[in-house]
Every structure is written in structure tokens, then in C-alpha cells.
Amino acid sequence: MDLRSFNTFALNGKAREIHSATSRDELVSLWQMAKSKNLPALLLGEGSNVLFVNNFDGIVILNRITGLTITQSPHEWFVHVGAGENWHQLIVELMERGIHGMENLALIPGTVGAAPIQNTGAYGVEMKDVCNYVDVVDLDRGEQHRLSAFDCKFSYRDSIFKHELRNDYAIVSVGFKLNKLWKPILTYRDLATLDVEVVTPKKLFETVCGIRRSKLPDPAKIGNAGSFFKASTVAKEFADQIKDRYPDCPEYHQIDGTVKIAAGWMIDRCNLKGSRFGGAAVHDEHAVVLVNKNNATGEDIVNLASFIHKAVLDEFGVSLEPEVRFIGTNGEMNAIEAIRRRESSSIQCTS
Ligand code: NAP
């Protein structure tokens, strides 16, 4: 079956079977059906953070569990949401009900259930800041467990769901905790024009949506999976050496003393905007985004990523880490290994 409409890169991969699960029990039985056929199973939301490198020789299970329940205490809103709900629509729905705190995360593609996996974040707010708990089902046993936000081990674009709970568990619902006293987070440069004293949640929401629409390609028009690489975190001494060579390098100092450097900035400094490999290209506006320009294959995108990885490593000594998850014939593969393997074959891109 064709995977094209199930990944925002709009790649033409194939899977043996694709099924939707609208309940926890359906998820479990589809998973066990795949196991009984000795086939790999892949859980997917809206496919906004995956790269199908090849055809997937297994069963894709689309998490389509819906539902929204809202309760409150004197100071907080408690929001319980099915994992298959659309992330942006949730924010819109909450705003309409006067529940705020997620405006910075507006317009991020994907489902609610995908957000905890990589601790989705934008403009100074991350999933970990709004998460109360995550409900998972153990797909082998059919048992449900609740993890507190602390249990989820959230860190930069990372969580327990990429490690200990990466296999054999599915997120079925997410609980959010939002303070009734709304405080705008305007620390990112793009939001600095807003006045903290007068800004409203709606204004912040509209500003974030406006910025994203102006900078990021719409997956409905050109296939992409948002930021392809994570920002890199390096030691201060290392960042200082980069700063000596590139005084304009934007640096973001972390509380642990390390320094975050934007992947897109490094790729741009390597003059790679617009570079192409086959049907894949580095987006002209935003270098951290790779796009499916013209019937790209998964291999085209990995090769382009590999070329970028090598260029940035040679210029800055920084090894970029993909944020997008790579799916091979039998399931998720090690993205950085896939990229490095192709580096040895001297890939050439066109500009
Ligand atoms: P940007 O605001 O210039 O951010 C570029 C990079 O610099 C990001 O990695 C961001 O870190 C970092 N950064 C910028 N200002 C920072 C600050 N005040 N403190 C700490 N780090 C800072 O431009 P952008 O690339 O359009 O991104 C805007 C926001 O949307 C960012 O938060 C970005 O991560 C997010 N975004 C996410 C995706 C995705 O697919 N996950 C796609 C596009 C944009 P952070 O990544 O930690 O924010």
C-alpha cells in the first residue's frame, strides 16, 4: 500500500498493510496481528517527523485515538487528549475555550501523541513545560500505564519514548496542565516585537502562525518534515573557537554552561541553501529544512543529508544529528549511521 499520503515528505514508499486504530484495544490487536505474521509494525501519527528511506516491509498502524476532556482546579486547567488528535487543532480548540499556554507551539504539524516522543518545542516552550502525564499501552501485554512528566525523561528533542519505551509501547493519550494565570514567553528574537505588557494569547498565537507561515514550507504544498537536524549543543570553549572565526554566529547559552548553535545557521554558512540531490533540496528560505522538490526518493534525502553533514563537520567540526526518524525496510534505523555510511561514497550535490 502507498505511503505517500501518510508522510509529510510525500515520499512514494510502500508498506505491506496500513491500518487505523481508533482505540487502545485496536492498537494492541493490530500490533499482535503483525507479530503473529512475523512482520514488523510501525506506529504512525501524521508522519510529520519520519523519513521512509526504503519501502517498509511491514504493517503501519495509524494512531487515530480521539477525545478531549477538560477539568480544572482553582488555579489550573487539566486537559486529557487522545493521541490521534491533531496538535494545532488542539491549540485552536483550547484558545476558543479560553485555555492558554500553548500559543508558542502553534502550527507544528503532527498529532498530540507524537509530541512527547521528541519533546516537541518552538519559541521557548517545549512539551515538557505543559505536560502533566502521558498514558501508554504495553502492546505485548495490553496493559496501560501512566507516566508523569518527570517519568518521561524529557530533554532537548528527546524523551524516554526514544529510548527505554521506544519499542512495544504506544502513546494512547496525553494530559496537559496549564496555569490559569497566563504568562507570555517572548524570549525568542522573532517574538521580541511583542510587548509583554499588552500582548494577548490570540496575538501571540497569530504572530507565531505568521512567522511559521512566512519561514517554513507548507507540507501540503511541498513535502518536508520541518527541521531535519537538531540544534547542536557544544562546550563553551568550542563555541568560542567558532565565534572567533564567525563573529556573527548566534549562540544560545544553556544553564549547564554549554552553548546551543542553530543547525540552520551552520548549513547556511556552508552556502548550502538550494543545494540538490536528485529530487531533494535544501529549502531556499530555511536551511535546516530539507524538501521533496521533485519526486524525491528517501535515498535522495539521505544522500543530501549526508552531504550537509560532511560539509558542516568539515567547516565547524560539529556532527549534526537528525531530528527526523529514519524508517528502513524493517523499522526505525539509526539515522546518524545511515548518513555516515553514505559519506564514504563522496556524494556530489548541485546548487
Ligand atoms: P530561530 O528562532 O532562529 O531558531 C533557530 C535555532 O536557534 C533553533 O534550534 C532554536 O532552538 C535556537 N534558538 C533561537 N533563539 C533561541 C533562544 N532565545 N534560546 C535558545 N535557543 C534559541 O528560527 P527557526 O529555525 O524558525 O525556529 C523557530 C522555533 O521553531 C524554534 O524554537 C525551532 O526549534 C522551532 N521549529 C521546530 C521545528 C521542528 O520541526 N521541530 C521546525 C521549525 C521550527 P530550539 O530548537 O531549542 O528552539
- Tell me the per-residue pLDDT of 245-262, one tens digit each, with 9 for 90 and over: 999 999 999 999 999 999
46, 48, 64, 157: the catalytic one is 157
Quote the Cα angle for 338-343-345, to 5°. 110
Ligand 1 center from residue 74 Cα (angstroms): 33
Report d(CA 331, CA 35) in Å as an integer. Answer: 13
User: Which ligand 1 atom is at minimum distance from the Cα of 157?
Assistant: 41
* Backbone phi and psi for residue 52, each to the nearest 5 degrees, phi listed first: -80, 100
Higher pLDDT, 346 or 104: 104
If you take atom 21 of ligand 1, which residue's CA is the nearest one?
Answer: 252
Report d(CA 50, CA 84) in Å as an integer. Answer: 16
159, 227, 275, 306: the catalytic one is 227
- Tell me the per-residue pLDDT of 205-237, one tens digit each, with 9 for 90 and over: 999 999 999 999 999 999 999 999 999 999 999
Higher pLDDT, 339 or 349: 339
85, 232, 323, 342: the catalytic one is 323
The three cell numbers of residue 251 are: 549562540
pLDDT mean over 330-351: 84
Query: What is the percentage of the chain residues whose pLDDT exceeds 70?
Result: 99
pLDDT value at position 87? 98
If you take atom 35 of ligand 1, which residue's CA is the nearest one?
Answer: 122
- Compute how many other C-beta atoms are within 10 angstroms of the C-beta atom of residue 269: 18
**Contact indicator for 119, 128 with CB cutoff of 8 Å:** yes
Ligand 1 center from residue 144 Cα (angstroms): 34
- Tell me the per-residue pLDDT of 123-132, one tens digit each, with 9 for 90 and over: 999 999 999 9
**Contact indicator for 178, 79 with CB cutoff of 8 Å:** yes
Quote the Cα angle for 329-139-160, to 5°. 80
Query: What is the percentage of the chain residues whose pLDDT exceeds 90?
Result: 95
Contacts 24+ apart (CB under 8 A), 262-265: 262/231, 262/288, 263/227, 263/229, 263/230, 263/231, 263/232, 263/287, 263/288, 263/312, 263/320, 264/227, 264/229, 264/288, 264/289
Ligand 1 center from residue 227 Cα (angstroms): 9
- 157 is a catalytic site residue: yes
Is the pLDDT at 351 greater than 80, yes or no?
no
If you take atom 17 of ligand 1, which residue's CA is the nearest one?
Answer: 188
CA 351 to chain centre: 27
Q: Parallel, antiparallel, or unpaired for β 56-63 and 41-44?
A: parallel
- Compute how many other C-beta atoms are within 10 angstroms of the C-beta atom of residue 92: 13
Ligand 1 center from residue 215 Cα (angstroms): 12
Locus of grid cell 499501552: 137
pLDDT value at position 181? 96
With the most atoms of ligand 1 within 8 angstroms of its CB, the residue from 50, 158, 188, 228 to mutate is 188
First to last CA, the chain: 34
Read out DSSP for 157-171? TB-GGGTTTSSSEEE
Q: 99: pLDDT confidence band, cut at 50, 70 and 90?
A: very high
Locus of grid cell 501518510: 6
Report d(CA 221, CA 8) in Å as an integer. Answer: 10
Is the pLDDT at 346 greater than 70, yes or no?
no
Q: Please, what is the average pLDDT of the chain?
A: 95
Ligand 1 center from residue 188 Cα (angstroms): 8
Instruction: Give the residues surrounding ligand 1 with Cβ less than 6 Å away.
Output: 121-123, 187-190, 215-216, 226-227, 231, 252, 260, 262, 264, 288, 323
Report d(CA 267, CA 315) in Å as an integer. Answer: 10
**Contact indicator for 329, 55 with CB cutoff of 8 Å:** yes
**Contact indicator for 46, 5 with CB cutoff of 8 Å:** no
- 227 is a catalytic site residue: yes
Is the pLDDT at 342 greater than 90, yes or no?
no
Report d(CA 263, CA 273) in Å as an integer. Answer: 12
Is the pLDDT at 173 greater than 80, yes or no?
yes
If you take atom 18 of ligand 1, which residue's CA is the nearest one?
Answer: 188
Report d(CA 154, CA 273) in Å as an integer. Answer: 31
pLDDT mean over 76-87: 98
